[in-house]
Amino acid sequence: MTLENSDNITSLFLKAANQHPDAVAIIEGVNNITYGQLEMQVKNYAAYLLKKGIKPGDRILVFVPMGINLYKTVLAVFHIGAVAVFLDEWVSLKRLELCCRIAKCKAFIAPWKIRTLSILSKELRAIPIKLNVTGRGDISNISLYASKPNDSALITFTTGSTGNPKAANRTNQFLLAQYNALQPLLPENSKVDMTMLPIVLLLNLGTGKTSVVTKFNPRKPEKFQAGSVYAQLKENGVQSLTFSPYYLLEISKYLLKNELNLPELKSIISGGGPIFPDEAKIIAKAFKDVKCDIVYGSTESEPIAHTDILNFLNISNEIKADEGLFVGKIDISASVKIIPMQDSEVNTIESLPLRQVGEIIVSGSHVLTSYFNSEDAFRLNKIKSENTIWHRTGDAGWLNEKNELFLMGRCK
């Protein structure tokens, strides 16, 4: 389903809740919540935020683990036109405080244990409003805030090439464009999806499908228990997976070692990092009857290119190792050019010929066009050419005559 300009992620969720009130929205361990129940929790929490003095445009730092409470919180923040701000769960105290200075949040939402620990941070102590995750308010006067397309909805931090955090400003328009760009990759016939990627679960809530929260700790990938996740997949009848390569490979090894399969699984999408041919062979063998797509993208642009795993293996066998890593054909929603590599800012675009290595740049409606409170980040990572803003990926690569992209590593 393609969104209209008048829609935003919350309005799409509310439509899904109206159409499928009794369908399970999220499964988190032994707990689950239907779309109808989640809608009521979102409205109650939105009323609580208003009661606490949160207004449209206010930035709220959200420190809630991935699960039912997180999506209740985020949708409630969107519901009243406020802006959710996220940091990585494994962020250091020094980086946290730098990000807080950039975001200048009015409120901080977290479970009580994290709110207690926040006393150790000067920047967190300075945030004026501290909120719990269980608050409720009077929903009798709650209505969906009429957000504009260019209003900020979500701010996430990513590390730039200099190591300084960049505040990626995801507007309502950007989230809708990202939704529309990713929808063709997500299987239409899947009713139950397991994803490790928080943004994908958020987009799932606009489709009426069930999302299963993966049992894993992103701060400790080495302690990932493939057997526990396999049990989740079997128990919940998961039909599609959205996993990063490392965890997909761990699941694949577990299945092969124990001679297991997942007959209900029909589709896999893997992104967030590279997959190499030897790894792809293991994944393809473990999931020989499953459609598996590999997606290349970044925080600022997802997707850029993609391919199915069998095509990836076929082309990888045809090229030499020093010719790079095949990452797929350019997505229909993206425009990609290869430009000369340079460390400084770029003001004019000089496209290199096909098969010549340079920096990969991308534009499109689903490509991030701004950073919050950081002109330097924009200057170093964006190129404004006429009415188009191009994003510098920082990756080196080349294009062939079929509009297929090959990655050569980082430019630096």
The rounded distance, in Å, linking the Cα atoms of 314 and 294 is 14
Query: Residue 1's pLDDT band (boundaries 50, 70, 90)?
Result: very low
pLDDT for 6 beyond 60? no
The rounded distance, in Å, linking the Cα atoms of 398 and 400 is 7
Residue-level pLDDT at 321: 86
How is residue 259 written in tokens?
């001679």
The rounded distance, in Å, linking the Cα atoms of 124 and 197 is 26
Mean pLDDT of the region 385-404: 95
Least confident of 11-15, 155-159, 407-411: 155-159
Write the DSSP symbol of residue 81.
Answer: T
Least confident of 83-92, 208-217, 355-364: 83-92
What percentage of the chain carries pLDDT values higher than 90? 75
How is residue 278 written in tokens?
């030897």
Residue of 162 and 175 predicted with greater confidence = 175
Q: Are 21 and 34 contacting, i.e. CB atoms less than 8 angstroms apart? A: yes
Q: Are 3 and 12 contacting, i.e. CB atoms less than 8 angstroms apart? A: yes
86 has which bridge partners?
Answer: 156
Query: Residue 382's pLDDT band (boundaries 50, 70, 90)?
Result: very high
User: Dihedral of CA 294/214/409/88: which sign?
Assistant: positive
Tell me whether the omega of the peptide bond preceding residue 303 falls within 30 degrees of 0, making it cis. yes
Residue 256: CB atoms within 10 Å: 14
| Phi, psi values for residue 285, rounded to 5° | -70, -40
The rounded distance, in Å, linking the Cα atoms of 388 and 369 is 9
Query: Residue 241's pLDDT band (boundaries 50, 70, 90)?
Result: very high
pLDDT digits (tens, 9 = 90+) for 185-211: 877 778 999 999 888 899 899 999 999
Least confident of 62-66, 163-167, 176-180, 181-185: 163-167
The rounded distance, in Å, linking the Cα atoms of 107 and 73 is 13
pLDDT for 214 beyond 50? yes
Amino acid present at 181: A
Concatenating the DSSP letter of every residue in 141-191 gives: T-------TTSEEEEEEEE-TTS-EEEEEEEHHHHHHHHHHHGGGS-TT-S
pLDDT for 245 beyond 90? yes
Residue of 390 and 119 predicted with greater confidence = 390
pLDDT digits (tens, 9 = 90+) for 87-146: 876 667 888 888 888 899 999 998 887 788 778 888 889 999 999 999 999 998 899 999
pLDDT for 230 beyond 90? yes
pLDDT for 162 beyond 70? no
Query: Residue 265's pLDDT band (boundaries 50, 70, 90)?
Result: very high
The rounded distance, in Å, linking the Cα atoms of 233 and 213 is 10
Residue-level pLDDT at 221: 87
Residue 146: CB atoms within 10 Å: 11
Mean pLDDT of the region 322-348: 95
